[in-house]
Every structure is written in structure tokens, then in C-alpha cells.
Amino acid sequence: MRAAIVRAGLLAALWWVLSGGAWSSWLFGIPAIAAALYLGFRLGSGGWRWTFAGAVRFLPFFLWRSLSGGIDVAWRSLSPSLPLDPDLIEYEFRLPETPARVFMSNAISLLPGTLSAEYADEKVRVHTLLRGPGAVRELERLEERVAGLFGLEMASRGDRA
């Protein structure tokens, strides 16, 4: 029930932004919010539980890394020697839950030199612009922040078969 109220509040805020705050627009806004709420729960996207403290830590990290990602790829595309040495690697998740994993695979593509290319529940295949350990380190750092964002404990590498 609380989730529904929070979600309705967010949708109402979104409607207010989209409609520019005109009163008459709520005639359409309220049915639209109701429909969105119904569809949201019907499609079962209820697994996105994130923590506020995690978000405060995640957001600057993500903005900083995507800034670096843009600068990195811009430099590579403008540099005459085209400094690329691509590779395809597999990364096994330590995150325990599917929604967090899906979120992470999307974030991967905005980080420097990594692009998520195939997602299978336990692992993700990542295309990298540069061969070597840098990409894996980047992914591990992202995974820690995503775990924080969703308030999750990560499995340690040793637990895996």
C-alpha cells in the first residue's frame, strides 16, 4: 500500500511537470495516473527497491563515470591513430537479484569503454574498447555501487562454483 502511495505521488509530480501545472489538465492527469498505477502493478515491476543513502552515493559516481566515458570515447574517435583494441568479455554477477542486475547491465553502457552486449541471468557479456583488466575493475566498482543503491549484500566470489 505504501508503495502505491509513493508511486502515485511520483506519477502526480511527473504529470505536473509534463502539463506545466495547468489545473484543467488534471481532468486527463488523474485517469492517466490511475492507468499507469494499474499497469505498473499488473506488469509486476515491484522489485525496484532502492535506498536513499545508496542513491546519494550512486548518483555522483554514475555522473562522474559517464562523464569520463564520454570524454574517453570522444578522445578515441578524434585521435588520428584510432586507439582501439576491442574485446568481448564475460562478467559474472555478484548481485543476488534480477532487477539490480538488469539495472547494472544498462548502466554498463554509459561507463568508459564498456557496452553490455548480452544479458543472461547469471552473467553479462560486455564489449570493451580496450583489452585488459581495466574494464573488469570498472565493472566491479559499478557493481558495488549498484549493490549499495538497492541495499543488497553481494555474494563473495568464493561462493560460486
Nearest approach, Cβ of 94 to another protein (angstroms)? 20
Q: Exactly one of 3, 59, 71, 155 binds another protein (CB under 8 A); which one?
A: 71
Segment 8 to 27, residues that bind another protein, using CB under 8 A: 13-14, 16-18, 20-21
Q: What is the Cα gyration radius of the chain?
A: 20
Segment 99 to 158, residues that bind another protein, using CB under 8 A: 105-107, 109-110, 112-113, 115-119, 125, 127, 129
Return the bridge partners of 89, or none: 126
Asked if 86 interacts with another protein (CB under 8 A), we say yes
Amino acid at 141: R
Strand order across the beta sheet in which 114-120 lies: 87-92, 123-128, 114-120
CB 115 within 8 A of CB 108: yes
The separation between CA 114 and the C-alpha centre of its own chain, rounded to angstroms, equals 14
Amino acid at 142: L
Return the bridge partners of 128, or none: 87, 114
Nearer CB in complex with another protein: 98/155: 98
Q: What residues make contact with another protein under the rule CB under 8 A?
A: 13-14, 16-18, 20-21, 66-67, 69-74, 76-78, 82, 84-88, 105-107, 109-110, 112-113, 115-119, 125, 127, 129
